[in-house]
């Protein structure tokens, strides 16, 4: 993703902030809270996150942290996002909360820490002229995970044409992921135009989606 494409993404979110107000899920680009939370419910199926270290790539305001707090305990959370407005709000919301850290950085260029789980919700949905960007980023995020990576994408067969956002061919993505990982699970029955992929280091048999 080049500098113009990254600047376009930032401009998009600043326009959404102006339209929907700072701190809202709509300013993050979601249709609403339901759309965001349903995705979190699916991503959290990646494993028992209690007591683990978690990297949230494209964390926005840290809404995933609040979701995970309701379902898991004793985990270390690291949130990263390139939008300074998002990170400033996240730090304000979680000020003084132990084992919770936010960094303003571009996950595509930053050196990522080694963690147990990496979760990426929405970050691979922005249009990029270079198709290899998505495969490179999946590999990069997976390499940061000691146990598993969970990410979602828009489904090309169902998502309408959009100037900024882009859908992906689910089978092509799964084929790539199966080259990188000994165990790949997929869920695509929770929203009309979205699918979630989970890539594990462990080859234990488990297929959520053929």
pLDDT by residue (tens digit) across 127-137? 888 889 999 99
**Number of CB atoms found within 10 A of residue 184's CB:** 22
Structural contact between residues 50 and 75, judged by C-beta atoms closer than 8 angstroms: yes
Alpha-carbon span 125 to 127, nearest angstrom? 7
The confidence score (pLDDT) of residue 161 equals 76
The confidence score (pLDDT) of residue 204 equals 67
pTM of the predicted structure, to 2 decimals: 0.91
The confidence score (pLDDT) of residue 5 equals 83
Alpha-carbon span 62 to 104, nearest angstrom? 12
The confidence score (pLDDT) of residue 16 equals 82
Alpha-carbon span 116 to 75, nearest angstrom? 10
The confidence score (pLDDT) of residue 163 equals 79
Angle between helix axes 132-143 and 170-180 (nearest 10 degrees) is: 40
The confidence score (pLDDT) of residue 210 equals 39
Sign (positive or negative) of CA dihedral 98, 104, 106, 111: negative
The confidence score (pLDDT) of residue 18 equals 87
Question: What are the pLDDT digits (tens) for 41-58?
Answer: 999 999 999 999 999 999
Q: What is the DSSP letter of 45?
A: G
Structural contact between residues 118 and 149, judged by C-beta atoms closer than 8 angstroms: yes
CATH topology of domain 34-200: Rossmann fold (3.40.50)
Alpha-carbon span 188 to 197, nearest angstrom? 9
Alpha-carbon span 12 to 10, nearest angstrom? 5
Q: What are the residue ranges in the chain where pLDDT is below 50?
A: 205-207, 209-210
The residues, any chain, with a CB within 8 Å of residue 86's CB and separated by 6 or more, are: 13, 28, 59, 60, 61
Of 157, 168, 140, nearest in space to 80 by CA: 140
The confidence score (pLDDT) of residue 14 equals 84
């Amino acid at each position: 993703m080049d500098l113009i494409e990254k600047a376009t993404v930032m401009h998009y979110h600043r326009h959404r902030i102006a339209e929907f107000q700072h701190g809202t899920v709509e300013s993050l680009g979601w249709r609403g809270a339901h759309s965001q939370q349903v995705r979190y419910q699916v991503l959290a199926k990646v494993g028992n996150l209690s007591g683990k270290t978690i990297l949230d790539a494209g964390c926005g305001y840290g809404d995933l942290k609040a979701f995970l707090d309701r379902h898991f305990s004793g985990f270390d959370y690291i949130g990263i996002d390139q939008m300074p407005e998002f990170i400033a709000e996240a730090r304000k919301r979680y000020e003084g909360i132990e084992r919770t850290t936010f960094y303003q950085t571009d996950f595509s260029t930053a050196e990522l820490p080694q963690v147990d789980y990496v979760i990426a919700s929405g970050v691979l949905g922005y249009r990029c002229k270079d198709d290899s960007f998505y495969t490179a980023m999946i590999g990069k995020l997976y390499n940061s995970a000691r146990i598993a990576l969970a990410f979602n994408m828009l489904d090309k067969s169902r998502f309408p044409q959009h100037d900024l956002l882009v859908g992906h061919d689910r089978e092509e993505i799964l084929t790539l992921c199966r080259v990188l990982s000994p165990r790949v699970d997929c869920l695509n029955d929770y929203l009309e135009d979205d699918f979630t992929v989970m890539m594990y280091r462990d080859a234990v048999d488990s297929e959520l989606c053929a």
